[in-house]
Amino acid sequence: MPPPSPGEELPGGATTVFDTTLNAFGRALGNMEPARWRTLHEGKALFVRDWSAPPHALAGPLTNAQACNSCHFKDGRDRPYDALGPEAPLLIRLSVPTAEVPGGAPEPVYGGQFNDRGTPEVPAEGTVQVKYVPLKGRYADTTPYTLRRPHYELTPLGYGPLAPRTQWSPRIPSTVFGLGLLEAIPEADLLARADPEDADGDGISGRPNRVTSVRTGQPVLGRFGWKASQPSLEQQIAKAYAEDLGLTSPLYPESTCTPKQEACRSVMQTRGEPALPAELLEKTTLYIRLLAVPARRDWSAPAVRRGQALFQRTGCASCHHPEFRTGEVADIPELSGQTIRPYTDLLLHDMGKELADGRPDAEATGSEWRTPPLWGLGLLETVNHQLRLLHDGRARGFEEAILWHGGEAEASRERFKRLERADREALVAFLRSL
């Protein structure tokens, strides 16, 4: 095994923080200038604010949450199990195929996102129900395992049936730390990892998602979201305010109420100006940009080192690219010139039919997903008291997540399945160290 690389324990470079508590995902950049503390605290206050309660009752009548941290508990991924109810994802994306809109148009009655929260005057659109079918299999050494395939139902539908050919995609929230560093990776470095025609013949053909900037109307590189459907943190956050909380903003001034939801539109029309001023959107965005990545643990342990070598040998690092260097960030120079280790390429990869949602998103097909960063995975159970992985949370741990990989990752999955138990455990120990 090769010796550890200098700085390998610092996934965020000089911005890395050392915290293994339930607050590990909510810490400020390790090299942050003290003058930014007020900015950080103002943004945090907006992130945890209940937008449905007085004196800030600005949330729309149809929502999925009442606060940002309702979904991103402790700046992490989703909420603890005891708050999840039937363990359903917090949202379902909806669309109908059309030649006029790349990736499809919003469902005409329910819009682009199914809202499971309402008010007495405007009832919720319904409830997401999920049932799991067990799938049994065995590793090459005959060790058994059980996966679970989810089946979703929207019931009762509060505003009538869905349109024919409606496409829907379940999503759980992602962690929100380290995103300022991902935004700072030069576009050229990400595009250099793309190989859409698989020119090198390794079976991996990552490609960028090109999405529309709402500020310029031009196609730009997507970086954020499960299908890399948002190009910037500002746009990602403004979209979440609009779809999850029903808060319009200068970027998304139109209500998400559909024309057929008359009561919802009536409530929103009484407001006039966007409910979320540009200043508050900016403060929320700055808060997210200032959140740090926690340092690795046990990174030099022999089992972890062996697992890291196996991660490379099985081909996982072909998509989960270990290292980038950030470019210059004029307004937050603390993010500039950092060697970071997020284990992602932020590109789209075909993950096969088992993980396909059948719903395009901009240029992403129904079976393509953005490679999610792996940093912080080992602290999810500490912070969020649960470990739900993949876009819909079906995987209850690292091994299950690997075993669901298909498409471009099928060869890596099969190599993992052929490993002996001790080697599988070593690879998982490496993931837990991140």
Q: List pLDDT tens digits, range 258-313.
A: 887 888 988 888 877 788 999 999 999 999 999 999 999 999 999 999 999 999 99
237: helix, coil or strand? helix
Write the pLDDT tens digit of every residue in 19-75.
999 999 999 999 999 999 999 999 999 999 999 988 778 888 999 999 999 899 999
Which tokens sit at 376?
Answer: 């912080």
Mean pLDDT of 140-157: 95
Q: Which domain holds residue 267?
A: 13-433
Under a CB-based contact definition with an 8 Å cutoff, are residues 389 and 383 in contact? no
Asked whether residue 3 carries a pLDDT value surpassing 80, the answer given is no
pLDDT of residue 259: 82
Q: CA–CA distance from 418 to each of 310, 387, 426, 431 (Å)?
A: 12, 24, 14, 18
Q: What are 214's two structure tokens?
A: 């709402």
The residue type found at 257 is C
Structural domain includes residue 238: yes
Position 21 in a domain: yes
Q: How far is CA 41 from CA 28, 44, 186, in A?
A: 10, 5, 28
> Could you tell me if residue 10 is left (phi over 0), alpha (psi between -120 and 50 degrees) or otherwise beta?
beta
Residue 83 has pLDDT above 80, yes or no: no
Helix%, strand%, coil% for the chain, nearest 5: 30, 15, 55
Q: Tell me whether residue 4 is in a domain.
A: no
260-263 LR contacts (CB < 8 Å, sep 24+) = 260/108, 260/109, 260/159, 261/62, 261/109, 261/122, 261/159, 263/61, 263/121, 263/122
Cα separation, 267 vs 247, in Å, equals 12
Q: How many degrees, rounded to 5, is the angle at CA 200 between CA 194 and CA 203?
A: 80
C-alpha distances in angstroms, 434 versus 70, 304, 341?
A: 25, 10, 9
Closest residue by Cα to residue 431 from 393, 379, 392:
379
Residue 298 DSSP class: S
Calculate the average pLDDT of the chain. 93
pLDDT at position 89 is: 58
User: Who's near 114: CB < 8 A, 6+ residues apart?
Assistant: 91, 92, 93, 94, 125, 126, 128, 154, 168
Name the 3-class secondary structure at 146. Answer: strand
- Axis crossing angle, helix 302-313 with helix 421-433, rounded to the nearest 10: 100
Contact 434, 343 (CB under 8 A): yes
> Is residue 8, in this structure, part of any structural domain at all?
no
Res 6: pLDDT: 73
Please report, for residues 41, 160, 173, the alpha-carbon distance to residue 96 in angstroms, rounded to integers and kept in the order given.
41, 16, 23
Cα-based torsion angle of the residue sequence 70, 128, 377, 206 in order, rounded to the nearest 10 degrees: -120
The CA radius of gyration of the chain, in Å to the nearest whole number, is 21
> Given pLDDT bands bounded at 50, 70 and 90, which one contains residue 88?
low
**pLDDT over 70 at 1, yes or no:** no
* Number of structural domains the chain divides into: 1
pLDDT tens across 206-235, in order? Answer: 999 999 999 999 999 999 999 999 999 999
Q: Would 6 be classed as within a structural domain?
A: no
Q: Residues 6 or more apart from 2 whose CB is under 8 A from it? A: 309
Residue 1 domain flag:
no
pLDDT, residue 87, reads 53
Cα(403)–Cα(77) distance, integer angstroms: 21
Rounded to 5 degrees, φ, ψ at 83 are -105, 5
- Side chain identity at residue 192, one-letter code: A
In a domain? residue 376: yes
pTM higher than the cut 0.85: yes
Domain presence at residue 77? yes
